[in-house]
Structure formats: structure tokens, C-alpha cells
Homo-oligomer: A and B are copies of this chain.
Amino acid sequence: MAKMASRLSGEERLIARYFRPLAKHPGAFGLLDDAAAVVPPKGCDLVLTTDGLISGVHFFPDDPAQTVAKKALRVNLSDLAAKGAAPLGFLLALALPRNINASWLKRFTRGLKEDAAAFVFPLLGGDTDRTPGPLSISVVAVGAVPHGQIIRRSGARIGHAVVVTGSVGDSALGLMLRRAPGLAKRWGLSSRHREYLTDRYLLPQPRTAIAAVLRRHAAASMDISDGLVGDLTKLCRASKVAAEIEIERVPLSDAARAALGNEPSLMETLLTGGDDYEVLAAIPGTELAAFRRAALKRGIAATQIGKVVAGAGKARFMDTRKTQMAFARPAYSHF
């Protein structure tokens, strides 16, 4: 019996089997120590952010394990990118219910591995626990920016252009389709459009490629995770300004335009639904052309949707008749 003291515990076996292969950062010590060591890149500050996913709250229990893993990393990579930071690595805290089996863990860690490689984002360390509750995945992302160059929400000034990357609202429609697949027919969507929207919900595309471009040209920036209206309001509040947006300039995907054509009331959903993971930025007029060019060179469209104006933390959305739009539920909030 005494020799049992040299046996690996269940937790150690779990870590060795599923997570050690992901811990390629030298400071992760192969997950064989109590903590990770990160040597900050010369002249850089570290940027830390955390975002978690809970089964049944942030994803569906039957979403593919691989995409759940990728989403957990990408929502955090999106925050780093919007702050102008390059990814260094992540910590992972997992609370696993008993019904999570080896097959699920294998697919989950395959997803982590693929994105850790794609975004050069190695596992630094973590914590695994059993829970009587739902599966919970908490990621802490560690990034680096040149000293003092993190891009805040608070730098927007009157006259700056308000810019968003990619397209807005796809994920909100994707979530609705996930819940009620019949909507695809009502919205007159082709199967290609339906798949596009569902995929935008399942798998965010963090704008990692333009972190350095944002540092060079943006005065304020954040990622859109709780919807354009709510997040622009937060940016305005932090900057003590207001913003005036022309709704028809808000970039929409072909799929979203198709749905909107059949159901105009979806506009509110597009502007206030969450999970966009696009970048929202305030860009000084003199930088705008250079910013858009540099972003496009990296494959990312950036669209001016309005401008920063005087005011106290408000975002006004104007329709083509210059009428201010009213929202029943301006931002997503769990509380």
C-alpha cells in the first residue's frame, strides 16, 4: 500500500494526459509546478483579461467541444487585440461535472491545441476541479504591449471617427437561429447564409491581426461583446463624450441584410445583440485613411459608422430620416 504514495492522482493523470501537451511555454514548466513564470518582453507591460463560459449560459451543452474550446480562447484574444496587445499565453480554470467524459475532453483539448497554435497562444497553467454544477471554462489571457501603450476606452475625443471592424449583429442572428432553426425560412435565408450566421455565433474571429495597427492609429478601442449600442455607450462614458451613429453606415453581412430585408425589426437585434467580437474604435480624422488601409492589408475591413460629439456618455443611433432610434433593451447583461 505504501507505494501508492508514488502513484499519480486522478487530477495529475488528467493534466498529464490532456493538458501537458498544450503547455509549450517554457514558463509553464510542463504544468508540473504550482505557478507559471512569464518573462515580460523587453520594454513591455503585461495586459491581463479574463472571460469565462458557463454551459447553458454562454454556450449550449451540445455545442461541439472543439468550438467551445476555441470560443473560450477567442473571446479573450478579442479583448487583447482591442487593447493593442499581442498574445503571450493563457491560464485555464476548468470546473468539470461528472458527465464530462474522455471523448469530450479529447475534443475540447484538440480545439484548444488548434487555436493555441493558430494564435501562438500557449497554455501557461491552470486549475481543474469537479463541480456539481454546469461545466465552466474560465480563461485568463496574458498579452504584452509596449510600455504605456495599452489602448483604453477613455481616449475618444470630439471629432474622432467611430469605426467598427467586420460586420455587426451576425452572431445575434446566429444565436436566434441556433434556438429556433425555423427562423431561417421566415427570414428567407439560403443555406449558405444560415451556416454563415450560425458559424459567426459559434466561432468568433478575434481581430488579433490589427492589434499593432490599433496601437499606431486608434485613440480609444474595445471589443464588442455585449452589442454595439451598449459597448459604444461604455466607450463614450469612459471618454466623457457622446457619439452619433448613422445606422445605414453600420456594416452588415450579406446574410444579415437578407434577414433584415424580410424582417426590418431585426435592426434592434443587430445593433444590441452580443457576441460580435469585432473592434470598436475612435480614430482621429488624420489617422482614419491610414488605419483603414493598414487594417485592410491584414484582411480586415474597417468602416466609419459615425463620429464622436460633445455629450455625457451617450450613443445616439440615427436612421436615414435623421430620427433617433429607441431601443427596448440596449445591451446584453446577465444581471
One of A37-45, A180-188, A197-205, A282-290 at the interface: A37-45
What's the nearest-Cβ distance from chain B to residue A227, in Å?
10
A48 in contact with B34 (CB, 8 Å)? no
Copies of this chain present? 2
Chain B residues with CB under 8 Å of A54's CB are 95, 129, 131-133
Q: Does A85 contact B (CB under 8 A)?
A: yes
Name the residue on B nearest A223 (C-beta). Answer: B34
Q: Does A83 contact B (CB under 8 A)?
A: yes
Asked whether A237 and B11 contact (CB < 8 A) given A35-B48, A54-B95, the answer is no
Name the residue on B nearest A238 (C-beta). Answer: B32
B314 in contact with A9 (CB, 8 Å)? no
Q: Does A192 contact B (CB under 8 A)?
A: no
Q: Does A303 contact B (CB under 8 A)?
A: no
Interface string of A45-62 (1 = CB under 8 A from B): 111111110101110000
B57 in contact with A6 (CB, 8 Å)? no
Q: Does A109 contact B (CB under 8 A)?
A: no
Which of B91, B154, B237 makes the CB contact (< 8 A) with A6? Answer: B237
Q: Does A63 contact B (CB under 8 A)?
A: no
The 8 closest A-B pairs by CB, nearest first: A133-B133, A10-B335, A9-B333, A35-B49, A1-B326, A5-B330, A2-B326, A130-B334
